[in-house]
């Protein structure tokens, strides 16, 4: 009986250990690739009892509606997490904080409306963040601590009207950013984004561009092709104010947006709010380079014209000298009959 009890105890412990580290019933786990395939299984929440050693977790095409805090505590080695095509409407703060090795996070085709500050904190190896095809109407000023290694960001097919420049500047390693199919409001609220995008493209970044949805006069236009003058006083309001120290952000008053004009659009030509207008300083490096190139071309044309005039003058002088030599030379050499008679009479 004692031996039998021992065997039952060993069997129970083994079964418990196997259950704790086994693959969830509806999933397929591949030890060689360290992948857990849980897609198209009808899950409504993150499955429990996932193998802790997995590095790829496929949860797309389910009915997951919320990601709770510490939902991935049991899988700290994840590198790729695919949560696309679910029903996720909210992401709890700290939901991904244990995933220090995560490199790719796919949240496309969900029902997310807001992304809170520091939602993606403590993801130092995150490189690709896909938030496309949601219903996001607002992005925070920061995705969180240690997100500076992101190289690809996609926010296309959402409901964004603006995006904070400070958020984009917090991603210094960004190489590709996708913006298309959002109702961008091309007023003063997006002016900082215009300046950032010009600098980003000049540094070799890749983007699909920003197409304006409003106001009406700019609808359908590329934001980069909207002249600075049409932003009214935005350039002055957006000018950086020297901070008290090199590590201090401008205060909320220094970053305040221009007040609404009579037509309800910030800095959009309302005469009461924008006068007197000061001519905005050129801030585009591309425009400066274009100015230098055009100036060089004009100077080259002027030099060619001066050279042509000099050649023409030399040719005219040569032709004139030749004419005088051929036609007037003999006359001066032999003289006229009237000039010869006094000379001959004097000789006689």
Regarding pTM above 0.75, the answer is no
pLDDT attached to residue 321 = 83
pLDDT attached to residue 155 = 97
Helix, strand, coil percentages in the chain from 3-state DSSP, rounded to 5: 35, 10, 55
Per-position DSSP letters for 35-60, written without gaps between them: EEE-TTS--SSPPSS--TT-SEEE--
Torsion of CA 327, 333, 339, 343, to 10 degrees: -170
Q: Classify 314 as helix, strand or coil.
A: helix
The phi and psi torsions of 332 (rounded to 5 degrees) equal: -70, -30
Phi-psi region of 60 (alpha: psi -120 to 50; beta: other; left: phi over 0): beta
The answer to whether 149 and 172 have CB atoms below 8 angstroms apart is no
Could you list the mean pLDDT of each consecutive 10-residue stretch along the chain, which spans 348 residues? Answer: 47 40 86 94 92 96 92 93 95 88 97 90 93 95 88 96 93 96 92 92 94 89 87 58 43 41 42 40 63 88 90 88 74 52 47
pLDDT attached to residue 265 = 43
In angstroms, rounded to a whole number, what is the distance separating the alpha carbons of residues 279 and 236? 9
The answer to whether 288 and 282 have CB atoms below 8 angstroms apart is yes
Residue 228's contacts (CB-CB under 8 Å, 6 or more residues apart) are: 235, 280, 282, 283, 284
Chain centroid to CA 281: how far?
22
pLDDT attached to residue 18 = 41
List the one residue out of 196, 195, 185 whose CA is nearest residue 265: 185
pLDDT attached to residue 235 = 54
């Amino acid at each position: 009986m004692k031996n039998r009890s021992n065997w039952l105890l060993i069997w129970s412990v083994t079964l418990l250990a196997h259950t704790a580290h086994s693959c969830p019933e509806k999933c397929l786990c591949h030890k060689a690739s360290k992948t857990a395939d849980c897609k198209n299984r009808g899950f409504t929440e993150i499955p429990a009892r996932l193998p802790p050693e997995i590095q790829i977790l496929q949860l797309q095409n389910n009915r997951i509606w919320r990601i709770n805090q510490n939902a991935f505590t049991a899988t700290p080695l994840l590198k790729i997490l695919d949560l696309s095509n679910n029903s996720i409407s909210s992401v709890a703060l700290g939901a991904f904080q244990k995933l220090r090795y995560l490199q790719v996070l796919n949240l496309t085709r969900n029902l997310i409306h807001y992304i809170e500050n520091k939602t993606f904190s403590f993801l130092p190896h995150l490189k690709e963040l896909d938030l496309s095809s949601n219903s996001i109407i607002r992005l925070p000023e920061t995705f969180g601590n240690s997100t500076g290694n992101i190289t690809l960001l996609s926010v296309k097919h959402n409901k964004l009207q603006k995006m904070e420049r400070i958020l984009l500047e917090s991603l210094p390693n960004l190489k590709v950013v996708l913006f298309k199919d959002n109702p961008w409001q091309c007023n003063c609220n997006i002016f900082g984004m215009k300046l950032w995008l010009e600098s980003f493209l000049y540094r070799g970044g890749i983007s699909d561009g920003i197409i304006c949805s409003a106001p009406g006069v700019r609808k359908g236009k590329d934001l980069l092709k909207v002249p600075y003058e049409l932003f009214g006083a935005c350039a002055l309001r957006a000018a950086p104010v020297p901070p008290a120290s090199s590590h201090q952000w401008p205060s909320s008053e220094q970053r305040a947006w221009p007040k609404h004009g009579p037509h309800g659009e910030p800095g959009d030509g309302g005469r009461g709010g924008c006068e007197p207008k000061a001519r905005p300083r050129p801030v585009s490096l591309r425009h400066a380079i274009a100015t230098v190139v055009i100036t060089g071309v004009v100077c080259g044309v002027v030099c060619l014209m001066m050279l042509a005039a000099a050649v023409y003058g030399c040719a005219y002088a040569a032709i004139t000298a030749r004419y005088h030599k051929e036609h007037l030379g003999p006359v001066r050499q032999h003289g006229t009959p009237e000039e010869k008679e006094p000379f001959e009479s004097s000789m006689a």
